[in-house]
Chains A and B, each alone.
Chain A
Amino acid sequence: MTITNEPGADVAVPSELITVIVDGVAIGVPKGTLAIRAAEMLGIEIPRFCDHPLLDPVAACRACLVEIEGVPKPQPACAQVVSDGMQIKTQFSSDVAREAQEGVMEFLLLNHPLDCPVCDKGGECPLQNQAMSVGRPESRFTLDKREFEKPINVSAQILLDRERCVSCARCTRFADQIAGDPMLELLERGAQQQVGTADDEPFDSYFSGNTIQICPVGALTSATYRFRARPFDLVSVPTACEHCASGCSLRTDYRRSTITRRLAWDDPEVNEEWNCDKGRFAFPYMQQGRLEWPLIREDGELRTASWPEAIDVAARGLQAAGKDTAVLVGGRSTVEDAYAYQRFARAVLGTDNIDFRARANSAEEHSFLASRVAGTPVQVEYSDLESAPTVLLVSFEPEDESPIVFLRLRKASRTGTRVYSVGSGTTRGLEKMAGTCIPALPGREADVLASLPADVRDALAEPGAVIMVGERAAASSGTLTAVVELAESTGAALAWVPRRAGERGALDAGALAGVLPGGRPLTDAIARNSIAQAWGLAESDLPRPGLSGVELHDAITEGRISAALVGGVEPADYPLDAVEALGDLDFVVSLENHHSAVTELADVVLPVAVVSEKSGTFVDWEGRPRPFGQVFRDAMMGSDAYVLGMLASALDRAQPSTVTDIRAELGRLGPWTGSRIPFEPARVDSAQADTTGEVRLDSWRLLLDLGVMQEGDPHLAATARPTVARMSPGTAQRFAIGTHVRIEGPGGFVQLPVELDESMIDGVVWTPMNSEGCRVYRDLGVGYGHAVSIAPATEGGSA
């Protein structure tokens, strides 16, 4: 960008730039720039309502009219593509523009209620602000204003006050263009035009909350925030989202130590200006049902204890178990907390029995993560998705499992990126990306990947192609091996997308057996030396490779492990016996912020901070650090790292326990450039292939479900998708299934309404993994990719 102060002055601009003059000031802008953006670059603010940089221009509100030299009528700056030498005169230098804008503003206010004092938007309202700067002081309008019945619910969460709407169509364009959920539409015509939904179909979108944020007036509000606060009473703090690995930048607004709302922060490289409804609305858990004091088990019951007492009991118990302790970090910890866990395990307890994968996993996955992911620099970024000619998804449903990845893929698909998905059918998300399903039985993805159609293979060989594999691949043996082979043979970039916000960071921090911080092999002498040195230990003090995943689990159930230190895990993510097995241990310490299945069997429970009470870093699926600060600076609750520091002290060991100190230590370690753990391909487990007489279970967690961090907002919960079992008509026919199905596994059965899905392959039944009426591990005793039997539902047997 080049700026000069002389109108039309000869400015040196690179060839792809053209020169436009706004209010007498020349500026070089790229071809295709809109007049409103050119003005912005000069700091000239033209009023606007319908304009939104991420939505297609409509030029409907006419608030942005400007004068273009040589054009008789004023033109909308939001849709006017500039041409070389164009002279644009805004309200600051043109009476035509100013009068046009004032006229439009007068019209906009005509039917707008003057309820700013009770409107949620009051104080941060573009209409209010622009009315101040370009509006008339007094209204000439003396007739009756248009009236609508007071707010209507467009969904359980979103309310609409129609009389406040200015018909800018931002929300409806968002629903259609960005989310791909055209269920919020402009209805009626003329002065009666209004936003609304179909009679019996709410605005059912995981991204609905964004409409509130982009509404330039207070027409759209959330049931949660409505009337709760005034913007000017709020303190805003930037945060990173803790709910998934998409890595959204958020803003948390609070008042008097209570969070009132969260919004999407503008981060062009990651979430642009969007987030999902979970990230936006699922925060009440932080301020409800919290553990406040340490608990100690005494005579079988947990009782409140003081911090010194609890730390003492916990430290002694862990010390007694020493190397025979399992450290389970969970998928939600920050990089800093995960670092503290693995350091505590290795340096204090002397064990390498550590894993962050609090979910189905495999040795193959361990090898994949250790060799291909841990500590690697960014390999695929969001922007790469946008420019990729082809993206292949494997065991990954982005809309549910990483919603901002979904939004970016959908955006990409609208400009030509082809999306393929290896899965059991075409999901709603895949349909919205105009994607193609490459059918595979859950658990048999490896075979399908090995024999992909030639055109797909060729497409993956085009420069820029990307393969994205989800964490579910771990539950399907051979899949990650096949993915690695496919990436190597086609040259496609490979990205691993875990579901939880903490997984990638925990991996990088070394919270996995055999993998030291930065992806350093525990068996590598140089790595061992540098880590030992950093920790003030001798190389020989570092443990030998320990157990993780299935091996660790087996050791627990077989009694080879006697204690566990457990971070925040979500029991619903665990195959059932994994949690149960902890109950047989001699000693369990749980670091938690809410009661859980783990605290129920723990000997010591140590409360820890939630994200608003601490600072830290998440690492998103790209490998991009997402550092965040503390929202409540006076929060009393310590982070996991802080508590682990106390435990270490109690055992006369020191370890960094603040974010600053941990970051400093990580900084001193620097990235690992030495040799990496090699990938060990896995063989397909042919036992999994036997499906005679049964069907395979396909299952993943829906974005909105019974997750513990979604507790506390009934409006959000009410927008969750209904629990159904999906199968192909062929499957339903084969098992004579009618409207409801009984699905039975080794651990029990569920009965669910059936949704026939033409796109699904035969021999598969899909259920949500942790939704009302269907908690797969608990209810069936098996998970993704396993065989279950199905039959028509029995009467009265509803689960």
Chain B
Amino acid sequence: MSTPLTPVITEFWDRPDLYTLDGYRAVGGYRALERALTMDPDDIIAQVKDSGLRGRGGAGFPTGMKWGFVPQGDGKPHYLVVNADESEPGACKDIPIMMANPHALVEGVIIASYAIRANHAFIYIRGEVPNAIRKVEFAVKQAKEAGLIGSNIQGSGFDLDVVVHSGAGAYICGEETALLDSLEGYRGQPRLKPPFPAVAGLYASPTVINNVETIANVPYIVDRGVEWFRGFGTEKSPGFKVFAVSGHVKRPGIYEAPLGITMRELLDYAGGMRDGSEVKFWIPGGSSVPMLTPEHLDLPLTYESMAEAGTMLGTGTPMVFDQTTSVVKAVTRWLEFYKHESCGKCTPCREGTYWITGVLEKFEHGHGQEQEMETLTSLCSQISGRSFCALGDAAATPYPAAMKYFRDEFLAATHTSADEQFDPVASYVFAGAAAR
């Protein structure tokens, strides 16, 4: 029997008023907060630890453990920062969460702040999505008006201010320390660690940075309990995930399912591949994790099994490409992205992406040279593990992964351009008349 879908965060997205306080309350919203405010903050941290919730921002770091790193009783202000910068190619789940169910995020923010004793929380949303920004701002405003944010929340003695902050277009600001610099009004370049944000983050004070989806999970865990949460997923990857399936599938969209569901199952829910097409390669969670092929479709989508397959679950937003896709073109485009988004701070990423992109563009036009395939491999290894932050590592990922499965396509690109190898029009999701 196939793994059933498990709408939790997405359960009431079809309610037109879910984005309002009343609508959210009507489906049990803010019940968790009420309960949380009666609890000892440490017990909430313990509960989140016990749930095994892992960060949904890509790295899968255990959330409760992260909260536990914040020194308590240190006399310094603490901050919660929500990473809503979602800019990773292929990732498209946080923005929908914020547009459809902003109060789940806001409720999670209040609970998390209470747990880590933060009186100030910031939601850093990438600037290119005004519609998510206004939705979250509206939810925050309503929560303020209802006394769920402010001073002495619900008579608990707990004070909290929440600020919705707009970014301005920089993928690197999803990297948590770059985000902090950006939030402090600087260029979004990553910071030297240590000190780690839990000790010296925003304004050099202890700070927790969590992904939108991670925080949106919190109210449900507090409300329904650890056991319920652990009832989904695996021992090492408990819970459920807002999967966003995109690409050459029949019904691209949001599918919330337990961790451990396979790509084949998800593909099935998404109606399978579009007519007459088959999977050529797919990427489990954003362009920064290595691609997989049809032979990996039956692997469970968990942190551990993806790692075993040499990739990562990442953001859990699979992109699926069919046989019409030029791998050379896809990889080139991704590298153009990394080149454009490299912050410029460190040499390997700044110069490496410049170089690799230049060479890949030659291949895309059919002018690659065979020995340059090895050069590209060595350039990637000159970035990987040597750059300042994980963006460099990410940039060094697509090419070696593609070479592993599609070496011949690069070889062919030494004489035949990507567009000649693969008619670009065949890859479009619209056809004929629509194209003009």
Contact = CB atoms under 8 A, between A and B. Distances in A.
Contacts of A193: 343-345, 350
B87 interface: no
Nearest to B371: A140
Nearest to A141: B355
A59 to B, nearest CB: 6
- Name B's interface SS: helix
Contact of B343 (A107, A141, A189): A189
A60 B358 contact: no
Given A58-B192, A107-B347, A190 B341 contact: yes
A691 interface: no
B342 interface: yes
B410 interface: no
Contact of A191 (B187, B353, B382, B387): B353
B173 to A, nearest CB: 11
A191 B350 contact: yes
A753 B354 CA distance: 49
Nearest to A169: B345
A141 B351 CA distance: 11
A62 B346 contact: yes
Interface stretch (A98-106, A452-460, A589-597): A98-106
A103 B347 CA distance: 10
Interface string A161-196: 000001100000000000000000010111111000
A191 B344 contact: yes
A104 B343 contact: no
B385 interface: yes
A191 B385 contact: no
A59 B192 contact: yes
B348 A62 contact: yes
Contacts of A186: 187, 344
B351 A108 contact: yes
Nearest to B342: A190
B355 A110 contact: yes
B342 A191 contact: yes
Interface string B314-354: 00000000000000000000000001111111111011111
A65 B386 contact: yes
Interface string B350-374: 1111110011000000000000000
Contact of B385 (A74, A167, A190): A74
A155 B175 CA distance: 35
A166 B339 CA distance: 17
A687 interface: no
A104 B344 contact: no
B354 A104 contact: no
A111 interface: yes
Contacts of B387: 62
A57 interface: yes
A761 interface: no
Nearest to A103: B382
B382 A143 contact: no
B152 interface: no
B140 interface: no
A140 B192 CA distance: 31
A175 to B, nearest CB: 15
A61 interface: yes
Contact of B354 (A72, A73, A110): A110
A316 interface: no
A191 B346 contact: no
Contacts of A63: 347
A36 B259 CA distance: 45
A191 B354 contact: yes
Nearest to A108: B347
Contacts of B170: 189
B356 to A, nearest CB: 10
Chain B CB within 10 Å, residue with most, of A57, A110, A144, A166: A110
A482 interface: no
A57 B382 contact: no
Given A110-B355, A140-B375, A143-B359, A191 B339 contact: yes
Given A146-B354, A190-B339, A73 B344 contact: no
Chain A CB within 10 Å, residue with most, of B339, B347, B359: B347
B281 interface: no
A78 to B, nearest CB: 10
Contacts of A65: 386
Contacts, number: 92
A104 B341 contact: no
A100 B386 contact: yes
A191 B358 CA distance: 12
Contact of B345 (A74, A143, A167, A188): A167
B192 A79 contact: yes
A100 B348 CA distance: 10
A191 to B, nearest CB: 4
Chain B CB within 10 Å, residue with most, of A59, A61, A62, A166: A62
Contacts of B340: 190
A197 to B, nearest CB: 15
A167 B345 CA distance: 7
Interface string B384-404: 011110000000000000000
B382 A107 contact: yes
B87 to A, nearest CB: 14
A188 B341 CA distance: 11
Given A58-B192, A143-B359, A107 B352 contact: yes
Given A62-B347, A103-B348, A189 B386 contact: no
A62 B392 CA distance: 12
Nearest to B359: A143
B372 to A, nearest CB: 9
A60 B189 CA distance: 10
Given A58-B192, A59-B388, A73-B386, A107 B344 contact: no
Interface string B86-122: 0000000000000000000000000000000000000
B160 to A, nearest CB: 31
Contacts of B350: 107, 167, 190-191, 193
Nearest to B362: A143
A638 to B, nearest CB: 54
Contacts of A61: 346-347
A74 B386 CA distance: 7
Contacts of B353: 190-191
Contacts of B388: 59-60, 62
A193 B344 CA distance: 6
A189 B391 CA distance: 14
Contacts of A143: 355, 358-359
B351 A111 contact: yes
Contacts of A100: 382, 386
Contacts of A167: 344-345, 347, 350
Contacts of A62: 346-348, 386-388
Nearest to B345: A60
A65 B76 CA distance: 35
Interface string A105-121: 01110110000000000
Contacts of A59: 192, 346, 388
Interface string A122-155: 0000000000000000001101101000000000
A189 B344 contact: yes
Interface string B147-175: 00000000000000000000000100000
Interface of B: 170, 187, 192, 339-348, 350-355, 358-359, 375, 381-382, 385-388
Nearest 8 Cβ contacts at the A-B interface: A193-B344, A103-B382, A107-B351, A190-B342, A143-B358, A191-B354, A73-B385, A190-B344
Interface of A: 57-63, 65, 72-74, 79, 100, 103-104, 106-108, 110-111, 140-141, 143-144, 146, 166-167, 186, 188-193
28 contacts: A58-B345, A62-B347, A62-B388, A65-B386, A72-B385, A73-B385, A100-B382, A103-B386, A104-B348, A107-B347, A107-B350, A107-B352, A108-B351, A111-B354, A140-B375, A143-B358, A146-B354, A167-B344, A167-B350, A186-B344, A189-B343, A189-B344, A190-B339, A190-B350, A190-B353, A191-B350, A191-B351, A193-B343
